[in-house]
Amino acid sequence: DETGTPSQSSELFSPLQLQTAYHVTPLLQQGYNGAGQTIAIATFAPYNYSDPATFASLMGLPNVQLAPGFSPTNPFAVVDGSGNSVSQVVYQTGSDETTVDMEWSHAFAPGATQEVAVGDTATQPSTPQQFYDVYQALASGSDGLTVPNVITCSWAYPEAAAPVETNQILDQMFASVAAQGITMFFAAGDGNVQSYNVMYPSSDPFVIAVGGTNLALNTNGTIASEKAWGNPPYNSFYTASTGGYSTEFAAPPWAAAIQEKYVPPSSQLSPTVPYLPGMRGVPDVSLNALNFSAIYQGGFYGFLGTSLSSPSWAGIYADMNQMAIAKTGKSLGYLAPQLYQVSQMTPSPFHDITQGNNGEFSATPGWDPVTGLGTPDVAALANDLITNLQAGTSATL
């Protein structure tokens, strides 16, 4: 299932506003705008290049640069597991998802190159096999694709919806992609946790799950307030940042000790949504999830969901990785262990979200299963990551 939807609001955020709020602007001003980096959109619906092109023009961004082999009239690869890009009719529902992923990864990394890998879904939406095919194609550079630096995906299914054995096969594949040094961001989800626990693949230990916040800005563009995204009564989808615990995967070693510090009040626990310390907690990080401006099918809309938060983080990664390579000659590589490592620095490069809830868990100081480590101060985060890279102390797999 896709994890984003149009929203109704008269006050929509522009790229400039969110670049300013999350302190991305200092990197952009130094020329670290994702140049030389490839961002891949893993998706299960096509898109029309004219929409992100119009968005870029309207928002004062550079033109969207497509990876080699792609063009405005041939803007995506259809992946069927054969190793060759195929020309087939693909499932149309969710084309808005692919479009906004393109627009907001570009908004945060306007100098990066982008490519779109569409799972072959001629008759149905995403399945575990299609996730496998798309990520294998990206990691190997088959199907006409370029091996990317970072991948973002806004599609998922409830973890329990597939057999454990199926998710374990995907987990092995994600571990292999991470070992290549490719960072993968997944939208954590937009559903209330009372309906199901966590989503997969965002609950996989080898991907970075991105939750959502509700951001308000001061008139000068700085953050006035930021709390966990959650809209009572939490009885429908698109109401809250999905968070919680995997019932299948243990917390990875780089996250376990930090996540285990979270202890919810007993009054907040539900028999249907498990609190499972020691298991993989979701999300890892967050970003605003509401009131994103977008162009879709030629019209101007507002969108909401962690499916906007995830591609935004992919763009942020591209900027930081360009900066790391320029300053150290080394890529950041797989980022998850480093995020948990630098979150413990003083001061932390994260805005710790301590207010709000998703209907089951509450945001608290430190990591929590609503907003993860928090949202980034990107300039500070980049500097901390690069300091560790220069010192040879960066956490790894």
- Tens of pLDDT, residues 11-67: 899 999 999 999 999 999 999 999 999 999 999 888 999 999 999 999 999 999 999
The domain limits of the chain are 5-391
Mean local confidence (pLDDT), 300-305? 95
Q: Which tokens in the block code for residue 358?
A: 């998703």
Q: What is the pLDDT of residue 237?
A: 61
Q: Which tokens in the block code for residue 4?
A: 């984003």
193 confidence band (pLDDT: 50, 70, 90): low
178 confidence band (pLDDT: 50, 70, 90): very high
Please tell me the least confidently modeled range out of 152-161, 174-183, 265-274. 265-274
Is 71 exposed, middle or buried, given 0-12, 13-18 or 19+ CB atoms closer than 10 A?
Answer: exposed
- C-alpha separations of 243 from 230, 273, 316, 335, 362 in Å: 11, 10, 22, 20, 10
Q: Give the integer Cα–Cα distance in Å for 208 and 224.
A: 27
Q: What is the pLDDT of residue 9?
A: 46
Distance of CA 359 to the CA centre of its chain: 22
Mean local confidence (pLDDT), 321-349? 98
User: What is the chain's mean pLDDT, rounded?
Assistant: 91
Longest dimension (CA), the chain: 56
231 confidence band (pLDDT: 50, 70, 90): confident
CA dihedral 155, 92, 38, 152 (to 10 degrees): -10
- Tens of pLDDT, residues 248-289: 999 999 999 999 999 988 777 777 778 899 999 999 999 999
Q: What is the pLDDT of residue 240?
A: 83
Give the position of tokens 């500070």. Answer: 380
183-187 vs 150-153, strand pairing mode? parallel
Mean local confidence (pLDDT), 178-193? 90
The CATH classification number of 5-391 equals 3.40.50.200
Q: What is the pLDDT of residue 196?
A: 58
Q: Give the integer Cα–Cα distance in Å for 356 and 354.
A: 7
